[in-house]
């Protein structure tokens, strides 16, 4: 119980929109926005009463633990309301001190937006993508695959990345649905350097808020059962 392991995780804090015009203020508040409870990590977005529209949390291993090559798996349930945007992803360590996004490389293992969810069944869609100097969303050419996931909101599912020097594959519940193997140069393959993990729940933004927010929404939870990393030796 309490906060996530501080030897592995830290918090990004702020409300500058995070490059996507998101509405939430990311905090490190244990009781409200990020806590270990019942064996799970709960990231909770809440309507805030401190003059800000929403609060939430964004956890990262940046500066604590980094990875290059191997297998990374998130087991999670995503929120269901229109306006949410949950993600488990990786970002190049050199983003802060050396080169900017997207040149540092980004790997999206799990991305989900609430407006794609069926509120009755909890069925939704997961998106797997990469962003790099040659391919990213502002150019509209990022490699992406999308697949339907049954009971995405009500049941845990495994979102898995296999990352090798020759390319990467992403799976949902053991089923391959994305691969990328353009390793030809630094613009298409910055993924030969270490990356850190990020778990976050955003509200609104250019994608999450593309169909507005559910006006009845007051809180939503992104529930992570585990994050497992198997490094290639």
> What are φ and ψ of residue 205, in 5° steps?
90, 175
Among residues 191, 20, 11, which one has the least CA distance to residue 107? Answer: 191
Q: Is 115 in a helix, a strand, or coil?
A: helix
d(CA 44, CA 57): 7
Count how many Cα atoms sit within 13 Å of the Cα of residue 145 in the half-sphere of its side chain: 15
Q: Are 10 and 64 in contact (CB under 8 A)?
A: yes
Q: Is 207 in a helix, a strand, or coil?
A: helix
Among residues 159, 157, 132, 161, which one has the least CA distance to residue 70? Answer: 161
Phi-psi region of 154 (alpha: psi -120 to 50; beta: other; left: phi over 0): alpha
Known catalytic residues?
106, 111
């Amino acid at each position: 119980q309490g906060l996530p392991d501080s030897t592995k995780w830290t918090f990004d804090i702020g409300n500058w929109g995070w490059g996507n015009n998101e509405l939430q203020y990311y905090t490190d508040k244990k009781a409200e926005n990020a806590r270990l409870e019942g064996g799970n990590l709960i990231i909770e977005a809440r309507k805030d009463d401190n003059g800000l529209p929403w609060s939430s949390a964004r956890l990262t291993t940046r500066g604590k633990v980094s990875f290059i090559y191997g297998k990374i798996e998130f087991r999670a349930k995503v929120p269901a309301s229109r306006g949410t945007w949950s993600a488990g992803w990786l970002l190049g360590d050199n983003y802060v001190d050396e080169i900017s996004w997207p040149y540092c490389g980004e790997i999206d293992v799990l991305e989900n937006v609430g407006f794609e969810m069926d509120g009755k069944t909890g069925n939704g869609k997961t998106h797997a993508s990469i962003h790099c100097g040659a391919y990213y969303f502002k150019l509209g050419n990022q490699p992406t695959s999308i697949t339907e996931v049954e009971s995405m909101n009500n049941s845990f599912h495994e979102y898995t990345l296999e990352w090798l020097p020759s390319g990467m594959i992403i799976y949902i519940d053991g089923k391959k649905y994305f691969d990328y193997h353009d390793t030809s140069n630094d613009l298409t393959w910055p993924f030969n350097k270490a990356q850190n993990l990020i778990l976050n729940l955003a509200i609104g933004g250019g994608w999450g808020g593309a169909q507005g927010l559910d006006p009845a929404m007051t809180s939503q939870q992104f529930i992570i059962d585990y994050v497992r990393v198997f490094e290639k030796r």
